[in-house]
């Protein structure tokens, strides 16, 4: 089969790969139809997360069930499915509580040995999916692969970053980072009743999309972010500040700065490093920080319903649809900030 393999920083190759097999009777084999290039994939692409050279990259996908193990009860060959990027066993204490992203056997596709066992990624003609009855999510007949793709990862992260922090209708929201996660968070804040959504980024292409989606924009390369946010919020700062960028301490520190006193800071950007935070300032101003990974398994029912009722359309942020052969170009587009959400049609 054909697959997109990582060989080192900025080195992606389309090559033949061995077709995956059912290893456990709880496995399924899925044929991806669409995959998405996620910001977390970019950390792998650039070498910030070490995977094994020759591994298949990608973790966000939808597809068709090709084969199931003997103990898979909820799915059959031919089912259209969203694949949760987070692999969870469905049986441990955390899964039973609904905390699938903290499963005792947690893992993720296409991230190498980050969590122990290495699972091959989504950008291939076939993918082995463990714990299929938990990890797979059925796509309703009246919804397309394109509209449900983001439920695999980005959309649950964005939605969780709002609802898990005590957001209330009428709250003002500031979003640091207008990549796909940030734009989706802004869309979720709008549909949940935010009084205003302020989108902050350095890239004109991203700010243009945010503005088209009805958000107030601040160009961090030209404007004083904290000052502009205070001007828009009667001098206070936003009720909820979201770090949707991750990757370093700067976005998080900006989110802390623009949140009002007793305000909320939600961190949904991908972080793997440790930073120094202004704990004294946080204590004096009583700001609260919350971290959300986003659980596709838990949030899929509500997100499917929002998409079905046309209250949320993730395809509005898609900038490119490319073939698998063009996937390396897609990573280059995202890296150079010439693409917002790049989708790969397998």
pLDDT digit string, tens, across residues 189-203? 999 999 999 999 999
- Integer-rounded Cα Rg, in Å, for the chain is 20
Q: What is the pLDDT of residue 50?
A: 83
Range of the domain at 16: 2-154+295-345
Please indicate, yes or no, whether residues 76 and 206 belong to a single structural domain of this protein.
Answer: no
Please indicate, yes or no, whether residues 263 and 305 belong to a single structural domain of this protein.
Answer: no
Q: 54: domain CATH number?
A: 3.90.180.10
Pairing of β 196-201 and β 216-219: parallel
Domains of the chain: total: 2
Please compute the mean of the pLDDT values over residues 30-49 and round it to a whole number. Answer: 95
Please indicate, yes or no, whether residues 257 and 330 belong to a single structural domain of this protein.
Answer: no
Please indicate, yes or no, whether residues 287 and 227 belong to a single structural domain of this protein.
Answer: yes
Angle between the N-to-C axes of helices 225-232 and 249-258, in degrees from 0 to 180, rounded to the nearest 10: 30
Pairing of β 28-36 and β 259-267: unpaired
Mean pLDDT for the chain?
97
DSSP 8-state secondary structure symbol assigned to residue 132:
H
Please name the residue that has the structure tokens 């800071």: 265
What are the start-end ranges of the E strands in 53-141?
Answer: 55-56, 60-68, 80-83, 86-87, 107-108, 127-129, 136-138
Please indicate, yes or no, whether residues 309 and 333 belong to a single structural domain of this protein.
Answer: yes
Please indicate, yes or no, whether residues 204 and 64 belong to a single structural domain of this protein.
Answer: no
125-129, 203-207, 270-274, 335-339: the lowest-pLDDT one: 270-274
Please indicate, yes or no, whether residues 336 and 284 belong to a single structural domain of this protein.
Answer: no
DSSP 8-state secondary structure symbol assigned to residue 188:
H
Please indicate, yes or no, whether residues 149 and 179 belong to a single structural domain of this protein.
Answer: no
pLDDT classification of 136: cutoffs 50, 70, 90? very high
Q: What is the pLDDT of residue 49?
A: 87
Q: 197: domain CATH number?
A: 3.40.50.720
Please indicate, yes or no, whether residues 112 and 148 belong to a single structural domain of this protein.
Answer: yes
pLDDT digit string, tens, across residues 291-310? 999 999 999 999 999 999 99
Q: What stretches of 179-324 show up as alpha helix (H) in DSSP? A: 180-191, 204-212, 225-232, 249-258, 279-285, 296-308
33-37, 136-140, 262-266, 270-274: the lowest-pLDDT one: 270-274
Final residue of a domain: which of 256, 273, 291? 291
Q: What is the pLDDT of residue 114?
A: 84
Alpha-carbon 35 to chain mean position: 12
Q: What is the pLDDT of residue 197?
A: 99
Please compute the mean of the pLDDT values over residues 136-146 and round it to a whole number. Answer: 98
pLDDT digit string, tens, across residues 154-183? 999 999 999 999 999 999 999 999 999 999
Final residue of a domain: which of 246, 263, 291? 291
160 domain-assigned: no
Please name the residue that has the structure tokens 């939808």: 62
pLDDT > 90? residue 285: yes
Final residue of a domain: which of 256, 272, 291? 291
Please indicate, yes or no, whether residues 78 and 110 belong to a single structural domain of this protein.
Answer: yes
pLDDT digit string, tens, across residues 76-120? 999 999 999 999 999 999 999 999 999 999 999 999 988 888 999
275 domain-assigned: yes
**pTM (2 d.p.):** 0.95
Q: What is the pLDDT of residue 76?
A: 98
28, 183, 189, 257 from 198: Cα distances, Å: 42, 11, 10, 14
159 domain-assigned: no
pLDDT above 70 covers what percent of the chain? Answer: 100
Please indicate, yes or no, whether residues 130 and 178 belong to a single structural domain of this protein.
Answer: no
pLDDT > 90? residue 243: yes
pLDDT > 90? residue 264: yes
Please indicate, yes or no, whether residues 147 and 30 belong to a single structural domain of this protein.
Answer: yes
């Amino acid at each position: 089969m054909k697959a997109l393999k990582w060989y080192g920083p900025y080195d992606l190759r389309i090559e033949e790969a061995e077709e995956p097999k059912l290893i456990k009777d709880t496995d399924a084999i899925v044929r991806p139809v669409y995959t998405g290039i996620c910001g977390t994939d970019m950390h792998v692409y650039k070498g910030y997360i070490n995977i094994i050279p020759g591994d298949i990259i990608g973790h966000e996908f939808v597809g068709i069930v090709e084969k199931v193990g003997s103990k898979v009860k909820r799915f059959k060959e031919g089912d259209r499915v969203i694949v949760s990027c987070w692999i969870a066993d469905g049986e441990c204490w955390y899964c039973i509580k609904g905390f699938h992203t903290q499963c005792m056997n947690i893992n993720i596709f296409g991230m190498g040995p980050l969590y122990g066992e290495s699972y091959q990624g989504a950008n291939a003609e076939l993918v082995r999916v463990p714990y299929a009855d938990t990890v797979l999510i059925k796509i309703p007949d009246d919804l397309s692969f394109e509209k449900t793709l983001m439920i695999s990862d980005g959309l649950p992260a964005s939605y969780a970053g709002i609802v898990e922090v005590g957001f209330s209708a009428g709250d003002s929201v500031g979003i640091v980072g207008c990549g796909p996660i940030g734009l989706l968070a802004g869309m979720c804040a709008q549909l949940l009743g935010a009084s205003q959504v302020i989108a902050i980024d350095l890239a004109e292409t991203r700010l243009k999309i945010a503005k088209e989606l009805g958000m107030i924009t601040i160009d961090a390369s030209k404007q004083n972010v904290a000052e502009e946010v205070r001007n828009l919020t009667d001098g206070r700062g936003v009720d909820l500040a979201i770090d949707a960028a991750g990757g370093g301490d700067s976005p998080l520190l900006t989110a802390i700065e623009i949140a009002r006193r007793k305000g909320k800071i939600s961190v949904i950007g991908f972080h793997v490093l440790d930073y120094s935070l202004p704990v004294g300032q946080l204590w004096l101003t009583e700001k609260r920080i919350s971290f959300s990974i986003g659980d596709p398994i838990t949030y899929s029912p509500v997100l499917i319903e929002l998409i079905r009722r046309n209250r949320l359309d993730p395809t509005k942020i898609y900038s490119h649809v490319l073939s698998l052969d063009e996937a390396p170009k897609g990573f280059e587009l995202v890296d150079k900030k010439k693409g917002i959400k790049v989708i790969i049609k397998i």
